[in-house]
Each structure stands twice: as C-alpha cells, then as structure tokens.
C-alpha cells in the first residue's frame, strides 16, 4: 500500500488533470454475503449507497459513458473470479488527507468481493483533489501487486487523463486491470 500512496502523492497530484470513474448502471447492489478484505464494515451514514458497479458521484461521465463502463465491469464480474467496483467522489464528500481510508471504508461497506475469497477490487477517484486509489482485497492483492497496480495507473489511466480524456483513460485503465488480473489468475 505504501507504493500506491507514494505514487498517488507524486504522480497524481502533479500529473493528473482529470480523474476517473464512475456512475450508475442498472441497480446492481452487491449481495449482503460479500465483504471486502474479510471484514464486515458497519453502515456509515457518510458513505453513499451503490447504484451499480459504477457510481459517478462527481458527475464526470456522460450517461452513455457510465452505462458502457458499468457494462464492461458487469461482464467481467460475470466471467472472472474477481469483483470490481468503481466510484468517483466529489471533494465535498471526503477530505483529501483521508481519501485512502475512505475508499477502504466504501469498499468494506459495499462488500466488494466474496468474503471467502477476498476477491474484490475497488477503484476510487476524486477529480477535485486529483487523486485516485485502488483498494485490493487480500485475495486480489496476491495476483495484482502494488507495483503492477502502479504500473497500470502510470501507463493506462494517466496518459489519457493528461489529455483531459477521463472516459478514455478510465476505459483503458479498466481494461488493463482486467487483462492483468485474468492473465495472472491462470
């Protein structure tokens, strides 16, 4: 996790013009049996309820972009042994210095991943702070290291963000995560 923090402070704070993630697809709330990193997090009223796999609380995507991103994640979640969720957060929802812990709380409360497998991956973005954080479940972290996560952020997400093309960066980043997870899983 330290590698991700250093990367975020170094690269995203200085190099990211726009950030990603999110929005709503149909109503695909996560099943109550699911947990993130093996912990059942009690409901926190400061954490919004998910409306799908993509939750755009910052309104950075068009409706069609949200639907596309949500469909990509939904399709991947059906065929893979990893459950991915994505959310963008307005700077009024969370303080910059607590963004990392906030994304962990969201992942836990939304119960991303299956408890027995700890197979969740949660992507949180706050464009207002120019910060992004990827939370891996314990099982997911075994196949997607901090270094691999940093590399994907550097090579797939950030180049498009620098061009102010948030949707394209999000889509490229998601695809890179999915390809890496699938390749390492087999």
Per-residue pLDDT of the chain (186 residues), as tens digits, is: 554 444 444 333 333 222 222 222 222 233 323 334 444 445 788 899 998 999 999 999 999 999 999 999 999 999 988 899 999 999 999 999 999 999 999 998 998 888 778 889 999 998 888 888 999 988 899 999 989 999 999 999 989 988 988 899 999 999 999 999 988 765
Check the CA dihedral 148-37-76-163 and report its sign.
negative
- Give the contacts of 45 (CB within 8 A, at least 6 positions apart): none
Query: Please, is 33 exposed, middle or buried when counting C-beta atoms within 10 Å of its C-beta (0-12, 13-18, 19+)?
Result: exposed
Query: 129 CB contacts (<8 Å, ≥6 apart)?
Result: 91, 96, 99
Q: How far apart are CA 130 and CA 20, in angstroms?
A: 9
Range of the domain at 11: 2-185
Q: How many domains does the chain have?
A: 1
Question: What CATH number does the domain containing 120 carry?
Answer: 3.10.310.50
């Amino acid at each position: 996790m330290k590698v991700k923090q250093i990367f975020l402070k170094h690269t995203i704070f200085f190099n990211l013009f726009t950030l990603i993630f999110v929005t709503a697809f149909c109503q695909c709330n996560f099943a109550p049996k699911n947990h993130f990193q093996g912990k059942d997090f009690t409901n926190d009223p400061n954490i919004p309820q998910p409306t799908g796999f993509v939750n755009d609380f910052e309104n950075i995507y068009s409706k069609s972009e949200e639907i596309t991103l949500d469909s990509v994640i939904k399709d991947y979640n059906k065929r893979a042994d990893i459950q991915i969720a994505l959310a963008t957060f307005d700077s009024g929802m969370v303080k910059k210095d607590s963004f990392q812990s906030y994304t962990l709380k969201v992942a836990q409360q939304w119960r991303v991943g299956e408890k027995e497998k700890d197979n969740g991956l949660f992507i949180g973005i706050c464009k207002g702070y120019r910060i992004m954080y990827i939370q891996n479940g314990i099982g997911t972290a075994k196949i997607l290291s901090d270094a691999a996560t940093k590399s994907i952020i550097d090579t797939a997400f950030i180049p498009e963000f620098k061009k102010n093309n948030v949707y394209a960066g999000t889509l490229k980043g998601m695809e890179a995560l999915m390809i890496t997870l699938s390749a390492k899983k087999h």
